[in-house]
Amino acid sequence: MKRITYPERHGWRDKAREVGFGFHEMYGEPYWLDDVAYTFTLQEIEEQIEAPSQELHEMCMDLVGDIVTSEEALDHLAIPEELRDLVRDSWERGDRHLYGRFDLAYDGQGPVKLLEYNADTPTSVFETAYFQYNWLIDQIAAGVLPQDADQFNSLQESLVEAFGQFSKEPIFHFAAMTDNEEDRGTTVYLMDCAVQAGHRVELLDIGEIGVDALGRFTDLQDRVIDRCFKLYPWEFMLRENFAPYLPRSGRAFVEPAWKAVLSNKGLLPLLWKRYPNHPNLLPAFFTDDPGASSLSSYVQKPLLSREGENVSIFTNGKELASAPGDYGAEGFVIQEYAPLFESEGGFAVLGSWIVGDRACGLGIREDRSRITANLSRFVPHVILD
Amino acid sequence: MRRRLSGRKPPLLSLGTIAISSLALAGCAGEPPGEVLFTSVDQCITAGMDAQVCQAGYQDAMQAHLQSSPKFDGLAACEAEYGVGQCAEQQPVATGVAAASLPRSSRAICCPRRSTISAITIAIATSGLTTALPMGRRRSIAIAPARRLPLAPGQAAMWWPPRVRPCSRSTSIPAPSFARALVAVAASVSAGRQ
């Protein structure tokens, strides 16, 4: 793994604008970097990223059944009691899921380490699947990269294939916070993949979903929502005013309710307990576990948190970095600290994608902070031998 | 042969863009329902239609294209008819068999790229509705008959002039009126990035 500077593509901002990728800049800062890339060898991708990601996903899937049938585990994950049947039933019924993204620490040496599993919300899917791929073919066409340059990226065709597994009969609704450009763009991209798989689709704001007299979710035309992609985390859904309707009608959503147990930092200690000393896992504990005090360099993470909020890093007992935020009420986990790839660009986290239970793509974000947050930048990658 | 980890074809966007909002379509009071046809999103927008409405029409047309366009067993067969670079591979769907398990030749179903087919025609139906309603209220969506000839770059596409008259009496606004729905956002926090 190396970080290499390249000439940026001529007119790449126009290309971004043409496809509606307006959030290549966010919060007044560049988000997409066109003039730099992370390079890997094929062997490095296959052995250090693809195979471990596949194995980690299988380990997670193997654990879900145990978690959803254990009140103790569900307590630890702060899944509300009245909605545990929803979570359990969705797993036992085998409700179909689409995707997940592992955040991995890798500094070019030794095995990757799992930082967390974003198993419920798809941040950076468009950048990874579409814009990054076009960066590769443009740079090959421009002679900047060799003809045989490659990328770990079959993300879009995997998504189309995965959408194709859902019944075409109901309208596939897509719900998001549509006033947020990035959320909306990400959702419309996935909607596009669904169209390519042959679905009839409709976009609506998550706040526009209604409920009919039978407790079924409805769209703006009062049609019953039978299938709904949502870019909205389960931990929010389980705690909102319409949550009482979820047991009746929550089956409609993709990702399914059982993803609430994977997209939760409480997964990390449960994985470590099941697979102690696995080379791709870091020691992790709930805060009430005596093992938590055995770590001298560790990261404290809220069970439920986004954009790195309320994460703190301690090395040798001293705070190295911390991020403010509004999370943490449900409790924390402690995970051993793993250094990230560090360069003049900052600290890089690997986002390794699973679609349809298969590891199929990589997107890398870097941040000036050790805690990857909302000012992180997306950097394309390329496989060169 | 060296294993490749990228997708077999560059990804396409059937909607053309990810910058689409939840919008509504409304026609003009007293107007009879009508229909306008375009062969590209740009053309639709240029004619004064709402961009999002054009995209929605395109979505329907694209889906119809993917389902109805000629299929070839392999890129070479497609390119023999349509020319080099004019074809795209399309994943078979709902086969129940993982595509990766099939030999390449059996999963390479090719069809001409959308940009080379003039048969992708966007039909926007209008109605006499006076209040803003969701896009799904479009009364009908029609797809023009397929014309199985690729267009050369820059060649003017075949199109049908709008049969819809403007609702405004002002001659300076030659387009039908499409009102944007007022989107009530109940929640106040973004799902955010993770």
Answer yes or no: is the ipTM higher than 0.95: no
Interface contact flag, A178 B22, Cβ < 8 Å: yes
Q: Is the pLDDT of residue B64 over 80?
A: no
Least confident of A9-13, A240-244, A369-373, A381-385: A369-373
Please answer whether residues A38 and A349 qualify as being in contact, where contact means their C-beta atoms are separated by less than 8 angstroms.
no
CB contact residues (below 8 A), chain A span 32-61, against chain B? 42, 45-46, 50
Closest CA to A274 of A56, A118, A59: A59
Minimum Cα–Cα distance from B138: chain A residue:
A221
Determine what percent of chain A is predicted with pLDDT higher than 90: 83
Using N-to-C axis directions, what is the helix angle for A267-274 and A51-68, rounded to 10°? 100
Across the interface, do A306 and B12 touch by the CB < 8 Å criterion? no
Query: pTM of the full predicted structure?
Result: 0.73
Tell me if chain B has a CB within 8 Å of the CB of A4. no
Condensed to tens digits (0 to 9), the pLDDT of residues A354-364 reads: 998 999 999 99
Coil, helix or strand at residue A248? helix
Q: Which of B181, B177, B171, B170 is nearest to B128 (CA)?
A: B177
Asked whether B154 and B115 are in contact (CB, 8 A), the reply is: no
Instruction: Please name the member of B10, B17, B67 whose beta carbon is closest to the beta carbon of A20.
Output: B17
Q: Which residue of B has its CA nearest to A187?
A: B18
A58/A63 Cα distance (integer angstroms): 9
Residues 6+ apart with CB under 8 A from A138: A9, A12, A15
| A332-336 and A284-286 beta bridge pairing | antiparallel
**How far apart, in whole angstroms, are the C-alpha atoms of residue A351 and residue A118?**
9
Mean pLDDT rounded to a whole number for chain A:
94
Q: What span, in angstroms and rounded, lies between the C-alpha atoms of B5 and A385? A: 13
A137 vs B: CB within 8 A: yes
A-contacting residues of B 130-169, CB under 8 Å? 133-137
- Give the total residue count for chain A: 385
Looking at residue B88, what is its pLDDT?
A: 65
Measured in residues, chain B has a length of 194
- In order of A33, A276, B117, the CA distances from A4 in angstroms are 12, 36, 40
Tell me how far apart the terminal alpha carbons of chain A are, to the nearest angstrom: 11
Quick one: tokens of A193?
């993949």
Are A178 and B15 inside 8 Å of each other by CB? no
Instruction: Check residues B138 and A228 and name the one with the higher pLDDT.
Output: A228
Sheet holding A381-383, edge to edge: A2-5, A36-40, A381-383
Q: Are strands A201-205 and A210-211 parallel, antiparallel or unpaired?
A: unpaired
pLDDT tens, position by position, A259-270: 999 999 999 999
**Which residues, 6+ apart, have CB-to-CB distance to A72 below 8 Å?**
none
d(CA A158, CA A161): 5
* CB nearest A161 (choices: B62, B63, B99): B99
| A195 inside 8 A of chain B by CB | yes
> In this complex, do A50 and B11 lie within 8 Å of one another by their Cβ atoms?
no
Instruction: Quote the pLDDT of residue B48.
Output: 66
Quote the minimal CA–CA distance from A298 to chain B in Å. Answer: 21
A192/B13 Cβ within 8 A: yes
Q: What does the radius of gyration of chain B's CA atoms come to, in whole angstroms?
A: 20
pLDDT in tens, A273-317: 999 999 999 999 999 999 999 999 999 999 988 778 888 999 988
pLDDT per position as a tens digit, A75-130? 999 999 989 999 999 999 999 999 999 999 998 888 999 999 999 988 899 999 99
Shortest Cα distance, chain A CAs vs residue B163, angstroms: 27
Position B18: which residue type? I
Helix H or strand E encompassing A174: strand A172-176
